[in-house]
Chains A and B, each alone.
Chain A
Amino acid sequence: MFEDKRWLPTLMVSPVLLLLIVMIGIPSIFVAWLSLTESTLGAQSTFVGLDNYRQIFSDRIFWRATINTFVIVNVVVYAELIIAMLLALALNCKFFGKGLIFSILIAPYAVSEVSAVVMWQYAFEPDVGTFNLLLEQLFGIDFNWSRNPFHGLTLIAILSIWIHLPFTLIILYSAISTVPEDLKSAARIEGATERQVFRLVTFRIIAPAVLIALMFRYIFAMRLFSEAWLLTEGGPARLTEVLGIYLFRSAFRYFDFGPAAATGIAMQFLSLLVASFYLYRLYKGMKANG
């Protein structure tokens, strides 16, 4: 294929790169500039140095949102990992109707955040919600997520896990199904118990996939906005806010773009921090491949 011109590959990737640069690349960098200025919609922006950072770092609500985000992200990611791992292991055998079961398990992937919120709002409806009734009758808990911030955050976490479990499940399930049956048999012949087979064979082989699933979920979980916004809008009294809501409120409710941009930079920083390990490995791999 030597007649292909040298500029051809560049031309072929340029639409993708153009989209990425214009819609994500430049805005992501421009945010850094905005975070150093004070501007509201329509007004000229003025350079204010690190004032916006000072402002958000001295804002109690920002720290509350940061802690909420930190707690929810960790709970959600690890709960998903454990549930998905159990399900993937349980599914790793042949049985009748497995295809249908797998379909049902990944069905929540198709559900929009809005519909999911409707579903869980109904299930936890204070008067008639099935789960609320169950909680009250079995444990005597009055689960009131719209008044109690802890209950509110719990429901946000449950909702997040519910929507995103299919992603983790698919990655872990396909990783587990690539573990050669021969290796496990060999370990059993050597006298390993099922637990040892998992720990010494299966887990070692799927570990890279687990790491990648974890990393992606960390990065995506940090973006948490829609579910939380739709469920509580950060209330009551901004106690269930997460970083996404804090940013959205600053930018699109108070039109305070400076602090919003500073929050955005903080979110970008955290995302890239998590991703840096993966990106570093990728970079090295690409350099090795020329």
Chain B
Amino acid sequence: MADLKLSNVDKSYGGFAALTDISLDVADGEFIVLVGPSGCGKSTLLRSIAGLERISSGDIVLGGRHLAHVPTRDRNVAMVFQSYALFPHLTVAENIGFGLKIRKTDKATADSKISHAADLLGLGALTGRYPRELSGGQRQRVAMGRAIVRDPQVFLFDEPLSNLDAKLRVQMRTEIKALRQRLGITSVYVTHDQDEAMTLADRIVVLNGGRIEQIGTPMELYDQPVNMFVAGFMGSPPMNFIPARAVDGVLTTASGPVSGAKFASDTQTDVMLGIRPEALSFTEGGPLSGEVEVVEPQGAQTLVIVRLADGTLVYASAEKHARQLPGERVQMGFDWAEAHLFDSDSGQRIEPLKTEGLQ
């Protein structure tokens, strides 16, 4: 086990900057999730740590060792690939033991490590099979087995669950979490699924356009997003953004003024009012009003989608048996403590928000 330190990592091919100024400290045993939309550079960052990509500048230090000139095979990292990358011509046991064999571990030690890993992952009965004879979940476990058997300094996961169906994905997610609690291995995990990120991470790194937007615990990111990108990315359905204008410290949306909040600024500013669907409630006389467009029952709750006067669509969580009907006019309120304000131009969070009691 080891800690991992990235400082000012840049990577560009041709004129395209894939990664810009990435700095990140991963503590020993910490589970970091890199999340972001496709093309944000999260896989490139992971592959750079593995040495499968060469970084343009910056430094990667693993357990005190500078990796810049260390080839992949000597980095002592383990990686679980999106496609699992199981060797089709080798059995489960041979796949798990591949790295041990390359490193010329003696056979008795290797065999006991392989069977230990296989048992840990519930593959004990399958060690003689070939990858093509396994189900998707079993293949995923073999890939995990290949990673844990060698006691690497860091685990790298490249969207390991994205090829599984929804049900299996949730199950494997739980297994990965249980496994990491048991083994306590330093891990970097890439996903585009924010649910996975929230469930698994000690800390989440949100990437966008090759830059880090925010680093924090899942709840920090959820409660204190630094900008609209992070706010919109974390949480499902995503946060609502309602255009508003602050004049002399009073906030006004298309539905009229929203009382209860004052701002330090007394000039006129365009802002975005960010409210998560679950923070909205249907309240007679609430400050936001509009017409119900669609009602989407989801089982545990029902989503009501409301069109505000300026055309903005707002998602609101209602109770299981929502009474709202399409075409109905509704009014909604919210708790200021769960509301966020962002600068319309820069997208940055506006702090502090001075509240004067509840609406």
Contact = CB atoms under 8 A, between A and B. Distances in A.
A4 to B, nearest CB: 9
Contacts of A29: none
Nearest to A3: B71
Closest 6 CB pairs of A and B: A3-B71, A2-B54, A3-B72, A2-B53, A2-B51, A1-B52
A2 B71 CA distance: 8
Contacts of A2: 51-54, 71-72
Nearest to B71: A3
Interface residues of B, number: 7
Contacts of B54: 2
A1 B52 CA distance: 5
Interface in B51-91: 51-54, 71-73
Given A2-B72, A3-B51, 8 more contacts: A1-B52, A2-B51, A2-B52, A2-B53, A2-B54, A2-B71, A3-B71, A3-B73
12 contacts: A1-B52, A1-B72, A2-B51, A2-B52, A2-B53, A2-B54, A2-B71, A2-B72, A3-B51, A3-B71, A3-B72, A3-B73
Interface string B119-149: 0000000000000000000000000000000
Nearest to B55: A2
Nearest to A2: B54
A2 B54 CA distance: 6
Interface of B: 51-54, 71-73
A2 B53 CA distance: 6
B19 to A, nearest CB: 15
Contacts of B71: 2-3
Contacts of A1: 52, 72
A5 to B, nearest CB: 10
A204 B71 CA distance: 50
A3 B53 CA distance: 9
A147 B1 CA distance: 89
Nearest to A1: B52
A3 B54 CA distance: 8
Interface in A1-43: 1-3
B141 to A, nearest CB: 27
Contacts of A3: 51, 71-73
Nearest to A4: B71
A261 B54 CA distance: 52
A7 to B, nearest CB: 16
A242 B205 CA distance: 75
A30 B52 CA distance: 46
A255 B56 CA distance: 63
Nearest to B70: A3
A153 to B, nearest CB: 53
Contacts of B73: 3
Nearest to B74: A3
A3 to B, nearest CB: 3
A2 B73 CA distance: 11
B289 to A, nearest CB: 55
A1 B47 CA distance: 10
Contacts of B51: 2-3
A52 B336 CA distance: 100
A269 B53 CA distance: 47
B37 to A, nearest CB: 26
A3 B70 CA distance: 8
A60 B72 CA distance: 69
B344 to A, nearest CB: 43
Contacts of B72: 1-3
A213 to B, nearest CB: 34
